[in-house]
Structure 1
Amino acid sequence: MSTPLWTIDEILAATDARIGSGVTQASGASIDTRTLNAGDLYFSIKGDVHDGHDFVPAALEKGAAAAVVSEAKAPSFKEQDRLIIVPDVLDAMRRLGIAARKRSHAKVVAITGSVGKTGTKEAMRLALSRQGSTHASVASYNNHWGVPLTLARMPRETEFGIFEIGMNHAGEILPLTAMVRPHVAVITTVEPVHIEFFPSLWGIADAKGEIFSGLEPGGTAVINRDSPYFERMAAHAMASKAGRVVSFGESEAAHIRAERILVRPDFSLVEARIFGEPLTYRIGTAGRHIALNSLSVLAAAHALGVDPLSVAQSFTELKPPVGRGERTMLSVGAGEALLIDESYNANPASVRAALNNLGAVELAGAGRRIAVLGDMKELGEKGPELHEGLADAVEANGIDLLFAAGPLMQNLIDRLPKAKIAAHAPTSADLVDAVCAAIRPGDAVMVKGSLSMKMALVVKALKERYGASSAAQALKG
């Protein structure tokens, strides 16, 4: 029989809960009945839209080991033998997460940054899973509930733990990195993301620098040397318990340095130097930003004592997550079109990177490069200017047609030739029919926008209307 994730005694010790007589040891942890597995602890978190307590019966019906509920809500449940009753459910999950970290002997990496957190985390997961038992955040579980949930799920035998940590206000990273207590902390980059909540980019750099406060004594801070805020972030690192700073980037001063990056439609090639030693490797997905973030993975692995060559070899298997560059060939008429799904979220840096990737696609026949863009949110008073500023990237990458959703995109449209504007609508749903009708064989279409713009609706409609073709690869020149 496998070792349980949590025994009843461990749950009791961590949370000081009242535990029903029917509660059994747990094999997992969940906050969502749609993905809950039998044997999971179900934490009935109260979210912005739903109260998890409303789904307790469904969780127990699906075989949850127990449902963690609040003292205030407990009287509403007639059957209490499979309940774990606590003053505050989120706090109980935090405490269980802290207990998981305390009992763990894993080497732990924490990752933050304005752009590239999830992709870097997935590359790190891929690389370290070849070295030992690896546990990492699911999707973008990087906030005040995602981090403690990921900790609470960490098996006791884990050898490498990888945690994504996000924020949109100053002070949010501090309690999360204190829970994670990383041996290595990575900042991918600083860009104008959530800028409406900060006085300047310096403020974002300071907020990202909070991640170093949780470093274990003698730990390693990994920082982008190309960033104009490198010195400021390094100062945060050296004010912490960090033993050293390792830098990455294209700068000649970087410890992990890319001397050459070659981006092709479906892969990237990097010629690098690791503390002066040459290393050339291939990444199984396209993107200059992905290549640069791969350097941070090498830096973290070096800090953990993992062979960089082994890490680099794993990159050949790297594929983009859904919504972050996933490529699908669509059957359109008698031919095919390429769909690049970048719909998960958007900010100025990531939109430029997505346009660069679309520009790198070598089209067949009379194919066109089509961008479907939604508003970038949380940019504050800089929003209009930052949308307008995308015009040069649209032009430089040979984008033939632009479909746009949202009022802020009007600023971009006003800067472009009318011949490039296919349609502009208030919402992504309003664009669906026009985009689907416009696709022709040989086209490459990229979809991107802030999460609240629901650009995934366009992706879903394209896949449903045209389906995936039998082609095994994306367009090649």
Structure 2
Amino acid sequence: MISLTIKEIAVAVGALNDTSKWSDEKITSVEFDTRKLVKGSLFVPLLGNNDGHEFILKAIENGAVVSLWSKSLAKLPIEVEDVFPVIQVKDTLQALQDLAKFYLAKIHPKVVGITGSNGKTTTKDMTDAVLSSQYRVHKTQGNFNNHIGLPITILEMPEDTEVIILEMGMNHAGEIKVLSELAEPDVAVITMIGESHIEFFGSRAGIADAKMEISLGLKENGVLIYPGEEILLQERVGNLADKQLKTFGIAETNDLYPLNINAQMNQTSFVTNDDPDLTIVLPVLGTYNVNNALAALSVGKVLGVPVEQSAPKLAQFQLTKNRTEWLDGVNGSSILNDAYNANPTAMKAVLDNFSTFETNGKRLAVLGEMLELGEQSSELHLSVKDSLNPSQIDKVILYGDQMSVLYEALKEKFDKENLFYFTGGKEPLIQFVKEQLEPGDYILLKSSLGTDLLSVVRALQA
């Protein structure tokens, strides 16, 4: 719970009106959604599909004790005038960000910023596990990782927070810059450079430029942690002469790397060059998650958390929902749900791991189209072909218009009774998959969130 006076808020946001009448009144939370307001809240009316200013009476009814306001005071409802405090500003979104910056400076925790084309949320959760072995930690919840969600995350930070972990997402150039300059990280992490949102950047090089924006807000002598084998980042970190650089990855040229990896259905274990006698166990599948763990461990090392102290926490960390989670499926099957997000790199990585799991039944892969790939969409969907081997995946079921090119290419590899393609409504897809599943079968579902294979996952759960 936070505690800020209206006087503090007015100063932080540059109030255009006199609020001294209510200076000493306090708020304990900040919210832009009237449905989430509680007693003691500051209401932030934002302009979007709806104009938040129109809901100020509902905000008051739901517990708001003060509101930001970017319109003329003459437009306040008559019920509000002189009896309810409003803080007039030029722009309520900018005021929200300014207030977050003020509160961050007031609490003064160490700040860890995390971005990347894939693995941001998992790395955030792992970093939380690592750092919570020594610090009081606050982190981004859900997908609150943009220009609105990040300041809200900051303003939800308890006053005793020692480290705050901020996930930073983007789909256009300049967005990470805004977040990084607001948060001013002590440590910044880039998990990987993939193809997510390539439609807006034209190339992976453009994506690398956008991810490097996280370094623009780094504090003086701050630390950038990045995958050392990514050439696109190697080419760009040379401009950070006043920053410390730490690398992680599989190669021995990195500052932190694994000496061996043992991947199983429900866990992955490895040892690192930092402590060859210590086996680190992750309660998640996938060798690709070792890289996420190495990034988290690197943050721990920078902030003085030894690996032997954080390893037990990593063994117990909880993944955010819908990311490579095993679920009980219909007809005695097991579902590997990874349908929250997808890009070609991530899809190939999870397929490569899924293909190795021992099962008494069949392995089925249900793959939905990947979005925001722009002019390279056909080429990038086609690139998944090499990770689909008929000797390892018994049936491939593709969904969505963009998957047509992969479907045509896989006809060369898979018999027609093992390769299927659906578009349109999902009910035929759901019914077909249910008919295919038998006891002991494993089924992977992977797609972009916008493709909505999560509804298929729900329908296939036991």
What's the TM-score once normalised by structure 2's chain length? Answer: 0.90
Runs of 4+ with deviation above 6 angstroms: 20-23
Q: Quote the offset at 1:73 in angstroms.
A: 8.8
Counterpart for residue 344 of structure 1: 340
**2:7–2:22: 8 Å Cα contact kept in structure 1?**
no
Q: 1:376 aligns with which of 358, 361, 370?
A: 370
The 5 A counterparts of 1:5-404 are 5-17=3-15, 18=17, 24-47=25-48, 49-71=49-71, 75=75, 77-80=77-80, 81=84, 83-238=86-241, 241-242=242-243, 244-274=244-274, 279-330=278-329, 332-333=330-331, 336-364=332-360, 367-395=361-389, 398-404=392-398
Aligned counterparts of 1:66 and 1:459: Cα–Cα separation in 2: 42
Unaligned runs of 5+ in 1: 467-477
Report the secondary structure of 1:254's partner residue. coil
Q: 2:408 aligns with which of 392, 406, 414?
A: 414
Q: Quote the offset at 1:236 in angstroms.
A: 4.0
Change (3 A) 1:309 1:381: same
Aligned residue pairs: how many?
452
Aligned counterparts of 2:251 and 2:309: Cα–Cα separation in 1: 24
Aligned counterparts of 2:337 and 2:320: Cα–Cα separation in 1: 9
**Letter of the structure 1 residue corresponding to residue 442 of structure 2:** A
Aligned counterparts of 2:149 and 2:434: Cα–Cα separation in 1: 35
Aligned counterparts of 1:286 and 1:73: Cα–Cα separation in 2: 56
Aligned counterparts of 1:216 and 1:314: Cα–Cα separation in 2: 28
**1:257–1:295: 8 Å Cα contact kept in structure 2?**
yes
Q: Quote the offset at 1:20 in angstroms.
A: 10
Report the secondary structure of 1:296's partner residue. helix
Aligned counterparts of 2:153 and 2:237: Cα–Cα separation in 1: 27
**1:221–1:237: 8 Å Cα contact kept in structure 2?**
no
Q: Share of identical aligned residues, percent?
A: 33
Report the secondary structure of 2:345's partner residue. helix
Cα deviation 1:214-238 (Å, max 9, x = unaligned) = 1111111111012122312322433
**1:20–1:82: 8 Å Cα contact kept in structure 2?**
no
**Letter of the structure 2 residue corresponding to residue 263 of structure 1:** A
**2:259–2:276: 8 Å Cα contact kept in structure 1?**
no
Counterpart for residue 475 of structure 1: none
Cα deviation 1:203-259 (Å, max 9, x = unaligned) = 221221111121111111111012122312322433xx41x2111111111111112
Aligned counterparts of 1:397 and 1:135: Cα–Cα separation in 2: 45
Stretch of structure 1 that moved more, 428-437 or 130-139? 428-437
Change (3 A) 1:27 1:436: farther
- Indicate the RMSD between aligned Cα atoms, in angstroms: 2.4
Unaligned runs of 5+ in 2: none
**Letter of the structure 1 residue corresponding to residue 308 of structure 2:** L
Change (3 A) 1:57 1:22: farther
What's the TM-score once normalised by structure 1's chain length? Answer: 0.88
Aligned counterparts of 1:420 and 1:38: Cα–Cα separation in 2: 57
Q: Quote the offset at 1:326 in angstroms.
A: 2.1
Aligned counterparts of 1:268 and 1:285: Cα–Cα separation in 2: 6
Stretch of structure 1 that moved more, 439-448 or 208-217? 439-448
Aligned counterparts of 1:442 and 1:73: Cα–Cα separation in 2: 66
Q: Quote the offset at 1:413 in angstroms.
A: 0.9
